[in-house]
Amino acid sequence: LSSDTSEGKDVMQFCKQGDSTYVFEITTANERWADTDKINARIMISSTRERKGDTTTGVLDNVGINDFVLGATDTFTLPNLKNIGLSGCLFITAQQDDAWLFEEIKVTRDGNQKQARVFKNVDKVWLSSDDSEGKSELTICY
């Protein structure tokens, strides 16, 4: 942003996807090297595997707090996402090459615990943008 148009724009508009608030409770595995604060993870929530009706988070980061601590559960509250109904699949993307292993992700929309879904990393797939450390994208369906 700049008032000098040769340097940038003087106005910036931010858009929201919708009016729903999603809460992600993510439990990092209690295994050696499973923790990270540099994975830059994003999650797309879809109602189906074919991504028919989806909403996407930004980078999951509780600023100033170490995220994804060994054996701990981190909570991320994300407002202004699109309501896609019941969460069917999660598409988790790692944008940094630090490796991360999580056990489960609980997704709750608009505080409705009856419709909360827990997605488990049953196969213990490590995430990393570095192919030698893990997969850069993981799909988990309910």
pLDDT tens digits along 95-123 = 888 999 999 999 999 999 988 999 999 99
Note the pTM of the prediction, 2 decimals. Answer: 0.84
SS (HEC) of 64-90: CCCCCCCCCEEEEEEEEECCCCCCCEE
